[in-house]
Chain A
């Protein structure tokens, strides 16, 4: 009897559950799926890309970078730079306010910058860690209710773009909260207000009424869902439950397009994917394969390796799109016009290797080398690294590919003493608006981002020459000379600018950006 009633109950339950299920969002709600959740929502301490995406809807900035790479006014109407280029003064739009009703003035803007740098709070996010370090930030001060001045160590041609990444928040509300309280009680200043946050599940934002920079037809609500598994994200998109999906796997693009519910947008991203040659003496001293070290310190070998890899085929086959091979570390259109990418030429590579003194042995191997790569950090990184390994092995450089977890193993290896390599695959964020931004990776020999430890004086002396002139045309000449040095000396095995794939529901109009940011303030219902 018990069994029978149990079976009946189960059958009832199942029939209830298996009714056709509809959960599509309504016309006022936009659903965006990212692979990881924010861990905190503090405007001064955003870390990961997904976190910064949400923050960009909660808080405004002094200026904005458009998807075309232009700098446009936002909270600041106008700005002026002093003669030495170390101070930029912004005139703010009057009448701004934060979501709790507190007026937003130049004092708040200055506070936002200084709070991120406050040693007491000791933030480690993007603003203090990357923006301020790149900016040479000294301090921010309010000159009046509407004028805020940002002080830097020296003139910085990319200052505006960097300042446009700093989220402006109100002083009173944040002074009233401890660092820990601020982590999940965001008080915004941007187009959307914070409604709720169910950790690892969703963050819900609602449009601010009467927002001065509101876009016509923008969605009332944005739901940021967390969906870690790529197949699950694609399935939700095709089922119509999610409108925008970042990081679509290229191998799933055709299926998503065929569903009629969504299309995949491929954009040429700005992240530079390259294989670095670890040229550091400290690394050489500790590495157990001296032949490989000796080899990569030979410029002929580095050029040979550049010729050995068929980057175009890697792009079309593994990344699902055509891409132009990089000539250096600068994104188009700012790369030097007369540099041709290294051609895929295995015979030429073999000749160079012979010439460099590394003939094939009896087993066909010239020398063996290790290539380390993160796994699941960049688009198809593991497969790309394996493919590079195959191409190098094909010309006699026996390459063992070592795939490592990015955050727990690879980052400590790279940051904690640059011990990755001898070959290591890396992706470095870039920009389209200025060649110098991309070149800043190698601003000094001891710059944290000079992962290869490259120290060619012809390159590094170029920086002083650039600083000595304010004439853009003259700067451009020097830039091109430097990039020629980089090209010839080849401290990187130059690969490609990573394409990014976004799945977009057919019910909305939205264009993905090139800079990996997901900004949906201009998304509208079709």
Chain B
């Protein structure tokens, strides 16, 4: 077990060093970021002063090593645009993005499983065809377009849901303000539905197809047939035997899913004015706010590594044949 833990930590460190190095090199590739932090009337001398103060006059390897040195102590430097700790700026936005991705993941899984099962149980019928057609449809709509259409029809036209914005839940929770978190919850959910659905539609559709096919496979296997022949009710067969086994591919997907949903976050946060990390990091890249981009990249990598660990452990739990090694 210890060996497993140590090897995992080592792997994670390698990943983090690599992603930060790639980020660092890429952002420096387009030339000197100093020009983004001087006024348009700045003289050569002023530009040189700013360059020195921001540390961009040092050789690249020195800059990167000093970043790594800070990283070991948990310090990713100060954001150039926000002038405060870059990691704090990222962590401040993280709860909103986590809310969005968790909700999206919930939608992607909770709707996909019943839809997939219903389709599998009605294989070849109009129900199956309808669900699969919807799923295909859902996999072919760009998220920004879906988002704008939802805003115009559901938000503006029907006034069912708020058009844009965010009500926090995780943030008060983290601050220990349970009461505010609880009272915010109903409103927070309203604000969450449209953006979360927009992000999740692609995954939802894919997962529905995934569940359907793994369900079909499980239903055709011996142990299900045995269960059926023992006279168990169809519903019991589905729930007790088939469903448990159909979970596996979905669990496998979950680890990758997060990264995928995160990719959708940049676009959806922009469309729905969601104050999250996606928009932050997009602006930070445009502004060449290197410490800020680095902090976000480190956070994303950590989330990814952790999630994969969770998936591995879950997997080992669900399937006794899998052992952690």
Contacts and interface: CB of A to CB of B under 8 A. Distances in A.
Contacts of A199: 89, 92-93, 275
A140 B164 CA distance: 46
Given A124-B50, A201-B165, A226-B275, A238 B156 contact: yes
A408 B286 contact: yes
Interface string B136-168: 000000000000100110011001111111101
Given A225-B273, A228-B273, A21 B39 contact: no
Nearest to B171: A198
Contacts of A129: 38-42
Interface size class of B (residues with CB under 8 A): 35 or more
Interface stretch (B55-63, B77-85, B217-225, B317-325): B77-85
A415 B286 contact: no
Given A16-B186, A199-B89, A226-B275, A235 B161 contact: no
A7 B114 contact: yes
Given A17-B161, A40-B82, A241-B163, A235 B40 contact: no
Given A129-B41, A200-B275, A239-B156, A408 B193 contact: no
B273 A3 contact: no
B151 A21 contact: no
A18 interface: yes
B19 to A, nearest CB: 20
B272 A201 contact: no
A411 B160 contact: no
A20 B160 contact: yes
A122 interface: yes
Interface in B263-309: 270-273, 275-276, 279-280, 283, 285-288
A2 interface: yes
A246 interface: no
A470 B286 CA distance: 46
B111 to A, nearest CB: 8
Interface stretch (B2-10, B29-37, B126-134): B29-37
Nearest to B38: A124
B31 A412 contact: yes
A21 B159 contact: yes
Nearest to A48: B81
A55 to B, nearest CB: 15
A182 B7 CA distance: 44
A125 B151 CA distance: 36
A232 B41 contact: no
B160 A128 contact: no
B39 A124 contact: yes
B239 interface: yes
B13 interface: no
B38 A232 contact: no
A380 interface: no
In the complex, which of the residues A124, A180, A405 has the most CB atoms of chain B within 10 Å of its own CB atom? A124
Contacts, number: 158
A327 B221 CA distance: 82
Contacts of B93: 199-200
B39 A411 contact: no
A227 B53 contact: no
Nearest to A440: B41
Contacts of A1: 235, 239
Interface in A1-47: 1-3, 6-7, 10, 13, 16-23, 36, 39-40, 42
A94 interface: no
B190 interface: yes
A241 B151 CA distance: 13
Contacts of A225: 165, 273
B82 A17 contact: no
B117 interface: yes
B291 to A, nearest CB: 13
Nearest to B155: A235
Contact of A416 (B32, B49, B163, B271): B32
Contacts of B168: 198
B273 A227 contact: yes
B287 A232 contact: no
A416 B276 CA distance: 32
B324 to A, nearest CB: 28
Contacts of B36: 407-408, 411-412
B227 interface: no
B84 to A, nearest CB: 5
A445 to B, nearest CB: 14
In the complex, which of the residues B41, B114, B152, B288 has the most CB atoms of chain A within 10 Å of its own CB atom? B41
A316 interface: no
Interface in A114-167: 122, 124-126, 128-130, 133-134
B110 interface: yes
B82 A448 contact: no
A489 B38 CA distance: 31
B128 to A, nearest CB: 17
B155 A239 contact: yes
A500 B273 CA distance: 22
B189 interface: yes
Contact of A130 (B39, B92, B152, B162): B39
A449 B40 contact: yes
B159 A20 contact: yes
Contacts of A40: 81-83
Contact of A415 (B38, B114, B159, B165): B38
A21 B287 contact: no
Contacts of A6: 110, 114
Nearest to B39: A129
A133 B151 contact: no
Contacts of A10: 110
Contacts of B82: 39-40, 183-184
B26 interface: no
A52 to B, nearest CB: 13
Interface in A190-204: 198-201
Interface string A413-446: 0111000000000000000000000000000000
16 contacts: A17-B189, A20-B159, A40-B82, A125-B39, A126-B39, A184-B82, A184-B84, A198-B168, A201-B166, A227-B164, A231-B151, A232-B151, A235-B151, A239-B156, A241-B162, A411-B36
Given A40-B81, A180-B83, A408-B36, 11 more contacts: A1-B235, A3-B117, A21-B159, A124-B37, A179-B83, A180-B84, A232-B148, A407-B287, A415-B35, A415-B40, A447-B41
- What are the 8 closest A-B residue pairs judged by CB atoms, nearest first? A129-B39, A200-B275, A201-B275, A412-B35, A448-B41, A133-B41, A183-B83, A227-B273
